[in-house]
């Protein structure tokens, strides 16, 4: 067997118009994996085919050009079909190439993937990939048996082989990175002019028990944080070396350890990094931090997403969110009071949902008053806790549709088509309401909301719903703001004029 030297890390060409509408986002996991491979003596390449809007022809050309010994890709559930196609294509180009796939869906669904796709899926990395992929390459180069490598799944002698899990990486500060391999010019945040966007991890893990989510399962309800100094130094490095001026923190709960998080805020304030921060966290952490929330603003935290998920306490309890309805309202009020952009989402399309319950959620969403709200269709990941209670209502088995946009669950009293229509109406009516109340916002938020609604109506999965049934009043407001002419975008913002 040829010795492994070159490793191509490639994102699958999957698009749903959700996150991509807000900008072009980096796969930060590849930065760490490439760093670990290079530190171990390998030659990694990061190829973000998804962000480049490349298809399989371009991916084939890149594989032929680089001639990698290993092609590794990544997949959450909606990406898995495209990711498997990348590996199939790799084997068709070079049959002896080693193919690897990781991330949340393969980590849990290897028993489904390998029997059907082992002809072109050599190895599945379960859990964190930095140590596992390096050890696998070492093992193959030594001609050793891969069953000695922890956290793998692979097909051998007509069966799935699963190796014992490896401990999670504890010292995140020590992980090498490969930021220089990133194709920086393509990464931008559409809501901010002249932006260069980085996705950065300050911690790993989630200790919650949300029944519809994958993160607490993937991280085994654990949490580890980088030191405050290490994290802030990285932001300064990205600013000085690559011109990064806006950062999305990729963590589920960067605020989990209050002392550490407050130290991060203090360092950002003291060093005046000039880097705007986009982040998500939990409602209860926002409320916990009410006495230091002024530090968020001074640290240039510009945009906070909190997962409200429902305005019904019954639904929150089903989702095991471990929060109260009134807490969500308090958290959003606190974010708004400090003139930070507030964003949330509502998970709908449960079996007992009706047009009336969705409209009730819309009205409460208006009352909660986030700057951005997204009305999403429940996607029961096959490994999530909630899957068993929803499986009898699932009408779609094509995983590429499990993207929170296209309903795959049929409510008892609605068709999926009716659900799609109602979700679209909820989005349209919510943002029409925001425009009607624009004068109540700060100048900063007025500019942001107009810009984002322009993005949503033209670059997101909501474009059809927002434009196809846009009421005349909304068109008039948009025309007045200078964003529309006859219901179509002029391309020029008004005046001076987001996992969206």
- Do 228 and 337 reside in the same domain of the chain? yes
Cα(108)–Cα(124) distance, integer angstroms:
10
Place of tokens 């935290």: 301
Cα(76)–Cα(383) distance, integer angstroms:
12
Lowest mean pLDDT among 210-219, 354-363, 483-492: 483-492
Cα(204)–Cα(36) distance, integer angstroms:
17
More confident residue, 311 or 236: 236
Average pLDDT over residues 21-39: 93
- Do 137 and 242 reside in the same domain of the chain? no
Q: Is the pLDDT of residue 324 over 50?
A: yes
CATH of the domain at 142: 3.40.50.280
Q: What are phi and psi of 386, to 5 degrees?
A: -75, -10
Buried b (16+ CB within 10 A) or exposed e, 253-280: bbbbbeebbbbbbbbbbeeebebbbbbb
- Do 157 and 178 reside in the same domain of the chain? no
Q: Is the pLDDT of residue 342 over 90?
A: yes
Angle at 78 between CA 214 and CA 392, to 5 degrees: 75
Asked whether the beta carbons of 282 and 307 are under 8 A apart, the reply is yes
**Domain annotation covers residue 499:** no
Cα(444)–Cα(42) distance, integer angstroms:
47
**Domain annotation covers residue 423:** yes
In terms of Cβ atoms closer than 10 Å to its own Cβ (0-12, 13-18, 19+), residue 210 is buried
**Domain final residue pick, 162, 190, 225:** 162
- Do 335 and 458 reside in the same domain of the chain? yes
pTM: 0.89
Cα(388)–Cα(382) distance, integer angstroms:
8
- Do 65 and 191 reside in the same domain of the chain? no
Place of tokens 């400090």: 338
Q: Is the pLDDT of residue 242 over 70?
A: yes
- Do 157 and 181 reside in the same domain of the chain? no
Q: Is the pLDDT of residue 361 over 80?
A: yes
- Do 101 and 203 reside in the same domain of the chain? no
Residue-number span of the structural domain to which 155 is assigned: 6-162
- Do 185 and 74 reside in the same domain of the chain? no
The pLDDT of residue 307: 79
**Domain annotation covers residue 494:** no
Six token digits for residue 212: 């519809």
CATH of the domain at 269: 3.80.30.20
**Domain annotation covers residue 148:** yes
**Domain annotation covers residue 256:** yes
**Domain annotation covers residue 332:** yes
**Domain annotation covers residue 496:** no
Give all strands of the β-sheet with 197-200 in edge-to-edge order: 197-200, 246-249, 276-281, 301-306, 341-348, 372-377
Strands 98-102 and 223-225: unpaired
**Domain final residue pick, 162, 187, 206:** 162
**Helix (H) / strand (E) containing 100:** strand 98-102
Q: Tell me the pLDDT tens digit for each residue of 43-85.
A: 999 999 999 999 999 999 999 999 999 999 999 999 999 999 9
The pLDDT of residue 5: 98
The pLDDT > 90 percentage for the chain reads 71
Q: Which of 67, 13, 75, 60 is nearest to 43 (CA)?
A: 67
- Do 218 and 147 reside in the same domain of the chain? no
More confident residue, 2 or 31: 31
CB contact set of 358 (below 8 Å; sequence gap of 6+): 348, 375, 422, 423, 426
Q: Tell me the pLDDT tens digit for each residue of 104-119.
A: 999 999 999 999 999 9
- Do 129 and 225 reside in the same domain of the chain? no
Cα(17)–Cα(70) distance, integer angstroms:
30
- Most confident region among 124-128, 318-322, 451-455 by mean pLDDT: 124-128
Cα(17)–Cα(456) distance, integer angstroms:
10
**Domain tally, the chain:** 2
Q: Output the DSSP codes for 65-79.
A: HH--SEEEEE--GGG
**Domain final residue pick, 140, 162, 184:** 162
Per DSSP, the three-state class of 125 is: strand
Q: Is the pLDDT of residue 481 over 80?
A: no
When computed from its CA atoms, the radius of gyration of the chain, rounded to whole angstroms, is 23
**Domain annotation covers residue 259:** yes
297: left (phi over 0), alpha (psi -120 to 50) or beta: alpha
- Do 48 and 178 reside in the same domain of the chain? no
The pLDDT of residue 216: 59
- Do 154 and 178 reside in the same domain of the chain? no
Per DSSP, the three-state class of 279 is: strand
Q: Tell me the pLDDT tens digit for each residue of 134-170.
A: 999 999 999 999 999 999 999 999 999 999 999 999 9
Q: Which of 418, 416, 426 is nearest to 361 (CA)?
A: 426
């Amino acid at each position: 067997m040829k010795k492994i030297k070159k490793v191509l890390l490639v994102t699958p060409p999957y698009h749903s118009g959700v996150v991509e509408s807000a900008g072009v986002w980096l796969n930060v996991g590849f930065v760490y994996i490439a760093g670990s491979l290079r530190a171990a003596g390998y030659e990694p390449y990061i190829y973000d085919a998804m962000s480049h809007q490349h298809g399989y022809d371009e991916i084939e050309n890149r594989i032929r050009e680089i001639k990698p010994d290993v092609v590794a890709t990544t997949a959450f559930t909606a990406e898995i079909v495209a990711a498997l196609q990348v590996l199939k294509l790799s084997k068709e180009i070079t049959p002896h190439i080693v193919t690897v796939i990781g991330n949340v869906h393969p980590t849990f669904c290897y028993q489904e993937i390998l029997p059907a796709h082992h002809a072109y899926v050599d190895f599945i990395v379960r859990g964190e990939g930095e140590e596992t992929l390096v050890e696998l390459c070492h093992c193959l180069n030594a001609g050793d048996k891969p069953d000695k490598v922890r956290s793998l799944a692979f097909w051998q002698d007509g069966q799935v082989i699963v190796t014992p899990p490896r401990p999670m990486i504890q010292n995140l500060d020590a992980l090498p990175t490969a930021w220089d391999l990133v194709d920086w010019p393509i990464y931008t945040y559409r809501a901010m002019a002249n932006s260069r966007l980085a996705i950065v991890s300050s911690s790993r893990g989630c200790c919650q028990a949300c029944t519809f989510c994958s993160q607490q399962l993937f991280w085994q309800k654990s949490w580890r944080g980088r030191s405050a100094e290490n994290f802030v130094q990285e932001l300064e490095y990205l600013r000085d070396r690559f011109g990064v001026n806006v950062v999305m923190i990729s963590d589920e709960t960067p605020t989990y350890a209050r002392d550490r998080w407050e130290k991060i805020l203090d360092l950002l304030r003291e060093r005046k990094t000039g880097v705007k921060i986009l982040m998500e966290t939990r409602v209860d952490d926002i409320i916990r931090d009410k006495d230091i929330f002024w530090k968020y603003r001074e640290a240039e935290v510009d945009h906070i997403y909190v997962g409200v998920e429902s305005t019904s306490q019954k639904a929150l309890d089903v989702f095991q969110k471990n929060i109260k309805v009134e807490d969500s309202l308090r958290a959003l009020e606190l974010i708004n009071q400090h003139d930070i952009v507030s964003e949330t989402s509502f998970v709908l399309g449960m079996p007992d949902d009706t047009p009336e319950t969705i409209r009730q959620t819309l009205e409460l969403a208006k009352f909660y008053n986030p700057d951005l709200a997204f009305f999403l269709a429940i996607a029961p990941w096959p490994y999530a806790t909630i899957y068993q209670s929803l499986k009898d209502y699932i009408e779609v088995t094509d995983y590429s549709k499990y993207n929170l946009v296209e309903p795959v669950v049929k409510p008892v009293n609605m068709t999926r088509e009716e659900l799609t229509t109602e979700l679209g109406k909820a989005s349209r009516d919510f943002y029409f309401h925001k425009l009607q109340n624009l004068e109540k916002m700060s100048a900063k938020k007025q500019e942001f909301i107009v810009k984002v609604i322009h993005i949503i109506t033209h670059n997101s999965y909501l474009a059809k719903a927002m434009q196809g049934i846009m009421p005349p009043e909304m068109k008039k407001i948009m025309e007045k703001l200078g964003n529309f002419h006859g219901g179509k975008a002029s391309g020029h913002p008004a005046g001076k004029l987001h996992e969206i």
